[in-house]
Amino acid sequence: MGSISDPPTGPESATAPSAGPPPAPGPKAPSEGFDRLRYAGVFTLLFLFGTETFLVSPLLPTISDDIGVSEAAAASSVTAYVLAYAIAAPFLGLASDRFGRRRALVVGTVLFVLSNAAAALSTGLALLVVSRAVAGLAAAAAGPAIWAHIAETTSDKVRGRALGLGMALFSCGQVVGVPLGGFLAGLAGWRSAFWALAIGTALAIPLLLRQVGRTAAQGVAVGAVKGVLAGWRVPVLRDALLVNTAFHGANLGAYTFLGALLVHRFDLSVEQLGLVGVVVGAGSVAGSLLGGRLGDRARAAGRDDIPLLPVWGVLLALGVVLAAVGPGLPLALVGVALWFVASGGFVTDQQTLAGTAAPELRATSSAWLTSTMYAGTGLGAWAVGAFTGVTAGTLVVGTGLALAAAFGALLLGARLRRTSGADPVSPPAARA
């Protein structure tokens, strides 16, 4: 392909062979406008996935008391979700690239319904942990397929806006969904929150079946391991994944200690920290929407080098500095808001790049973004924790990795500009 703004040519646009019965109609070709209702099903799923990701933490004390285990033991259910997603996502993303979005979405959505129902029925730790691991597998199957579906069914003029809205709805799961889940749990017990997720997901299935059409199998002729690793042999994607790791080492790695940092600096209560969570979510929503619109404007002006990626890195560094050493709580909260505006904008730009750099690897590339995000989070949290003081650790690791990500993004943009007009990103797997 010539540049990352070329029209989609991936699995969703594949045509069926002439022999045999005709397949069911696939999705419409990308249009110049952005019909939000056309994506109601996948947007609903993104909101529910966002709620699921953040729901368990505030319910941990209630869950641990009810099933008779420690909070640390109950927290293993969160670990099960994250590990299952991080490990399985690249393989399930490849399955989506090979066999189509509809299959991955339907399988993932059904598993999500069953896993949340199983969590609601849990009376002990074992079933709860297993159900959370299955939920991670469900999200790993459906999530990359959602981002790939949005990228390949929207035109270049509105792709960033569509992906940004999807990311904003995912963040709304934290801002709106988690408090609603907590309120419901307070009224009817913690299991009711998981029943609500199961029912809401089940109601989205008819929309998915209507809005995501069947497609022919892509049939990439490589083994599973080679296919999963194909994106790392694409220079643009490899650079983007390395930048992604560094950025999230600063972003989510340092965020692990944000509560401890603010308590240390300002002696905040648990209730006040909950309000900080609203600032975090609102910043992510604003950054996602802003990043999508600004990205579309840049591409409309002929910029195919994701010019805002370095800006998000610098803005993240500024936000971390203000949160860590800014004088007074108001300025520190401004820093937190900037921090997560940068986070939302960066993730939206990265999803846009993953969805257009190598069309035949859209879901696999999106899955690797999540896996490297988790890897960066773990490395960043470990690095911050290695410091004797949380303020010093957050400041050094957060700003250092954020600026490293900004510099890497500059190099990535330079590579995109140099290779524009060539065929720099077709992976060996796609040419096999």
127 pLDDT higher than 90:
yes
pLDDT band at 421; cut points 50, 70, 90: low
Closest CA to 340 of 282, 275, 392, 260: 282
135 pLDDT higher than 90:
yes
pLDDT band at 290; cut points 50, 70, 90: very high
Relative orientation angle of helices 40-67 and 190-211, to the nearest 10 degrees: 160
Give CA–CA dist 280/334, Å, rounded.
Answer: 10
How far from 192 is each of 66, 180, 182, 196, CA to CA, in Å? 13, 11, 10, 6
Task: Report pTM.
Answer: 0.78
Angle at the Cα of 205 from the Cα atoms of 343 and 166, rounded to 5 degrees:
15
Angle at the Cα of 196 from the Cα atoms of 192 and 200, rounded to 5 degrees:
170
**CA atoms 245, 107, 46, 150: torsion sign:** positive
Give CA–CA dist 225/91, Å, rounded.
Answer: 8
Residue 52 near residue 197, CB atoms below 8 Å: yes
Residue 146 near residue 153, CB atoms below 8 Å: no
Give CA–CA dist 362/355, Å, rounded.
Answer: 5
Residue 136 near residue 85, CB atoms below 8 Å: yes
Any idea which residue has 């368990």 for tokens? 56
Give CA–CA dist 202/382, Å, rounded.
Answer: 38
Tell me: the pLDDT tens digits for 8-23?
Answer: 333 333 333 444 444 4
Q: What is the pLDDT of residue 32?
A: 54
34 pLDDT higher than 70:
no
Closest CA to 4 of 408, 405, 302: 302
Give CA–CA dist 176/336, Å, rounded.
Answer: 18
Average pLDDT of the residues in 141-151: 89
Joined together, the tokens standing for residue 263 give 């308590």
Tell me: the pLDDT tens digits for 107-126?
Answer: 999 999 999 999 999 989 99
Give CA–CA dist 268/19, Å, rounded.
Answer: 68
Q: What is the pLDDT of residue 76?
A: 83
Secondary structure (3-state) at 175: helix
Tell me: the pLDDT tens digits for 317-361?
Answer: 999 999 999 999 999 999 999 999 999 999 999 998 988 888 888
Q: What is the pLDDT of residue 215?
A: 56
Q: What is the pLDDT of residue 120?
A: 93
The dihedral formed by the CA atoms of 54, 78, 73 and 388, expressed in degrees to the nearest 10: -80
Residue 143 near residue 88, CB atoms below 8 Å: no
Q: What is the pLDDT of residue 430?
A: 42
pLDDT band at 223; cut points 50, 70, 90: low
pLDDT band at 50; cut points 50, 70, 90: confident
Give CA–CA dist 152/366, Å, rounded.
Answer: 13
Higher pLDDT, 83 or 216: 83
Residue 364 near residue 97, CB atoms below 8 Å: yes
224 pLDDT higher than 70:
no
Average pLDDT of the residues in 240-255: 94
Least confident of 62-76, 98-112, 128-142, 206-220: 206-220
Q: What is the pLDDT of residue 197?
A: 92
Tell me which amino acid residue 383 is: A
Average pLDDT of the residues in 167-180: 80
Any idea which residue has 């859209």 for tokens? 362
139 pLDDT higher than 70:
yes
pLDDT band at 272; cut points 50, 70, 90: confident
Any idea which residue has 């940092």 for tokens? 261
30 pLDDT higher than 60:
no
Average pLDDT of the residues in 283-296: 92
